Structure 1
């Protein structure tokens, strides 16, 4: 993995990230737009981690920490780069960030129907907690 470079996203990366997610990520989020990603990068410049190989975006993860919980979102690896350790490298970088911030546990949002993702998360030491359910309320139309 010496040719893999992990860095924090900047505002200049937003359009590339949004295009990448349309191709590589499962599902969509209400925040999958320029304003949503810009708000994330502006509020927490170290939260959106990008994995690049040969100058091209190969993977992403959002490693958000609010002072209470460590949350991982939008773990995505380009289909041409899967099964090469990129997801593991991104999660390791996220976990290092969380540990440095004093985090104690990582929560991850994983689509129920995304079986491939379940295997990835399990292979990196995460386990499912069936006694929790996500409740949501959109604040915008």
Structure 2
């Protein structure tokens, strides 16, 4: 079983390691900078999945007033196909619906 909660600063290194293991990082796009920018928004849309005290999934959501966005959806390679990504997306959908967000878009790298 796993839980979904909001990102905390203590998750930083684990998130970057997960993104690297999932092939989401790029040399021209510093993941720490993206995380610091997101955290500064304080919007509760940066989610992590935790299993046995290990970070196994992330979803960085956003809302610009017109549509919601999904970025950095990642699940540890050994934890894929267990419903973790689905649960992260569903949790983001609930949070966006509470903001009256009419649509959601996923960015895939």
Scaled by the length of structure 2, what TM-score is found? 0.89
**Residue segments in structure 1 that go unaligned for 5+ positions in a row:** 112-141
Q: Do the aligned partners of residues 86 and 12 (structure 1) sit closer, same or farther apart at CA in structure 2, a change above 3 Å counting?
A: same
Structure 2 SS opposite 1:68: coil
> How many residue pairs were aligned?
109
Instruction: Give yes or no for contact 2:25–2:31 (8 Å, CA) kept in 1.
Output: no
Partners of 1:31 and 1:47 in 2: how far apart? 20
CA-atom RMSD in angstroms? 1.7
Q: Which residue of 2 aligns with 1:42?
A: 40
Structure number, greater radius of gyration: 1
Pick the structure with more strand per residue.
Answer: 2
Residue 60 of structure 1 pairs with residue 47 of structure 2 = no
1:98-113 equivalences in 2 (<5 Å) = 98-111=96-109
Instruction: Give yes or no for contact 2:62–2:68 (8 Å, CA) kept in 1.
Output: yes
**Residue segments in structure 2 that go unaligned for 5+ positions in a row:** none
Q: Which residue of 1 aligns with 2:84?
A: 86
Scaled by the length of structure 1, what TM-score is found? 0.70
